[in-house]
Amino acid sequence: MVDDCVREPGISGEGLRAVCLREVQKDLTQSAKLLIEDKLNAHGLSEANGFKVFKDVIETPGDGIIIFKGMNNYTAESIKSLEKFKRAWWEEAHTATPTSLELLRPTIRDEGSELWFSWNRRKKTDPIDMLLCGADVPTGTVVVEANWRDNPWFPTVLQLERENCLRMEPDRYDHIWEGGYVKAFKGAYFAKPLAEARAAGRIGNLAADPLLSYNAYFDLGGAGARADAMAIWIVQYVGREIRVLDYLEGQGQVLAYYVSELRSRGYQNALCVLPHDGVNTNNITGKRYEQHLEDAGFETEIVKNQGQGAAMMRVEAARRIFPQCWFDATKTEAGLDALGYYHERKDENRDVGLGPEHDWSSHAADAFGMMAIHYEAPEADREYAMPNYGRPSATGWMGA
């Protein structure tokens, strides 16, 4: 078994070169080195068996070697140092960037070489999930899903922890224990209202009313690889109900791309509601964002800057209107994932909240919060009768 693991297949006496990777590794305490050392000790493998543990590498039988690296330290030139390695194990691969994957894949390519990735699912859009869990995967890919029920040594203490999570944090259970994607980050601003919406059947299949107008709520990004993401929610108002029908997001695309997307999805007559920076000039074209949309035939409206504390004002406004929201589960899935992750940034040493975290989830949350601020509730005494086509249900439409 030891020979199978540490010798190159078909080459007697020649040791296997392996590299253990993470996206970022500032020092060896962040690597898998200690884990491998513990396993060697557990199986009684030592220098007598050909294993020598040094400060930064582990030598294996037959002059083999295991090294530990951070992929973000490699360039197109330095990655060539791994060309003769036959195994690459990438731990916590959910943090892998597209650039790092593109560097590694053509490098580990000798006959008999293998790439191993281990990770906990986070988002469907993570590069590693798109590579290995999508509709089309590289030839020869083997994906194994393993969780608590596959562990023959699963201890009682973890069984109790699992049951407690199911009872106390049901919105996070699927991600923590069953390998599901993140639906709600612990402490996320909208974790509870999202869980309540799912429990009430307000996340399901929705059909747009062709007689009602659309509102498109923007959080503006920009063009270029380093630009923030653009996020757009499509909403219809039916009496006191807020029907969230669709969600668009992209990064690095010009505004014309989103105009085309809106048209292709049938929202060419939507009112485009922009944040205060919608009056800013586009660095590429020299025109204001609102002017671009108006030139494309859209009506626009600008929501004024709420000033200091605007992010939390959007959070509180969104929490207030959440019980009135119905979501199309399929078309808004990416947006719902972002809302479920949007959370507070904290000073862990002092346990002090520092306001909303600006990350991948904040763009969808900002656009959603702006929608909540822009929303005007119908007059309290207004009688509302549903039209004959019915009310939305968790699975479709029910006739009135």
Q: Which of 5-9, 200-204, 265-269 has the lowest mean pLDDT?
A: 5-9
Q: Quick check: is 149 in a domain?
A: no
Report which DSSP code applies to 242.
E
**What pLDDT is stored for residue 324 in this prediction?**
96
Regarding whether 136 and 219 lie in a shared domain, the answer is no
- Tell me the C-alpha distance between 320 and 323, whole Å: 7
**What pLDDT is stored for residue 157 in this prediction?**
96
Range of the domain at 102: 2-142
pLDDT band per the 50, 70, 90 thresholds, residue 396: very low
- Tell me the C-alpha distance between 348 and 2, whole Å: 43
Regarding whether 214 and 83 lie in a shared domain, the answer is no
pLDDT band per the 50, 70, 90 thresholds, residue 125: confident
284 vs 49 pLDDT, higher one: 49
User: Considering its fold, how many domains does the chain have in total?
Assistant: 2
Average pLDDT over residues 37-49: 93
For residue 1, pLDDT beyond 50: no
pLDDT band per the 50, 70, 90 thresholds, residue 184: low
**What pLDDT is stored for residue 223 in this prediction?**
52
Regarding whether 44 and 113 lie in a shared domain, the answer is yes
Residue 198's nearest CA partner among 184, 188, 209 is: 184
Regarding whether 304 and 203 lie in a shared domain, the answer is yes
**What pLDDT is stored for residue 227 in this prediction?**
62
Residue 5's nearest CA partner among 72, 71, 87 is: 87
Give the C-alpha distances (Å, rounded to integers) separating 34 from 27, 38, 126, 198. 12, 6, 27, 42
Which CATH number does the domain housing residue 137 bear? 3.40.50.300
**What pLDDT is stored for residue 282 in this prediction?**
66
The strand pairing partners of 58, in sequence order, are: 53, 66
Q: Quick check: is 289 in a domain?
A: yes
Structure tokens at 32: 């898998």
For residue 382, pLDDT beyond 70: no
Q: Which of 190-194, 249-253, 276-280, 361-365 has the lowest mean pLDDT?
A: 276-280
For residue 392, pLDDT beyond 70: no
Q: Which of 113-117, 166-170, 201-205 has the lowest mean pLDDT?
A: 166-170
For residue 12, pLDDT beyond 80: no
Regarding whether 346 and 235 lie in a shared domain, the answer is yes
Regarding whether 223 and 295 lie in a shared domain, the answer is yes
Q: Quick check: is 28 in a domain?
A: yes
Regarding whether 197 and 63 lie in a shared domain, the answer is no
Regarding whether 348 and 205 lie in a shared domain, the answer is yes
The strand pairing partners of 356, in sequence order, are: 344
104 vs 184 pLDDT, higher one: 104
**What pLDDT is stored for residue 196 in this prediction?**
87
Please name the amino acid found at residue 332.
Answer: T
User: What would the pLDDT profile of 56-115 be if each residue is shown by its tens digit?
Assistant: 999 999 999 999 999 999 998 999 999 999 999 999 999 999 999 999 999 998 899 999
Please name the amino acid found at residue 371.
Answer: M
Q: Which of 44-53, 119-128, 345-354 has the lowest mean pLDDT?
A: 345-354
Regarding whether 245 and 131 lie in a shared domain, the answer is no
- When the pLDDT of each residue in the chain is averaged and rounded to a whole number, the result is 85
Instruction: State the virtual CA torsion across 66, 67, 68, 73 in degrees, nearest 10.
Output: -150
Q: Quick check: is 287 in a domain?
A: yes
Regarding whether 242 and 138 lie in a shared domain, the answer is no
Report which DSSP code applies to 24.
-
**What pLDDT is stored for residue 242 in this prediction?**
96
pLDDT band per the 50, 70, 90 thresholds, residue 155: very high
265 vs 400 pLDDT, higher one: 265
Distance from the first to the final alpha carbon of the chain: 68
Contact 16, 60 (CB under 8 A): yes
Which CATH number does the domain housing residue 259 bear? 3.30.420.280
The strand pairing partners of 288, in sequence order, are: 281
Residue 20 phi, psi dihedral angles, 5° rounding: -105, 125
Regarding whether 244 and 384 lie in a shared domain, the answer is yes
Q: Which helix (H) or strand (E) holds 219?
A: strand 215-219
**What pLDDT is stored for residue 226 in this prediction?**
52
Q: Quick check: is 338 in a domain?
A: yes
Regarding whether 208 and 101 lie in a shared domain, the answer is no
- Tell me the C-alpha distance between 351 and 213, whole Å: 45
Residue 9's nearest CA partner among 83, 90, 86, 63 is: 86
- Tell me the C-alpha distance between 17 and 114, whole Å: 11
Average pLDDT over residues 262-275: 95
Q: Quick check: is 24 in a domain?
A: yes
**What pLDDT is stored for residue 261 in this prediction?**
95
**What pLDDT is stored for residue 50 in this prediction?**
92
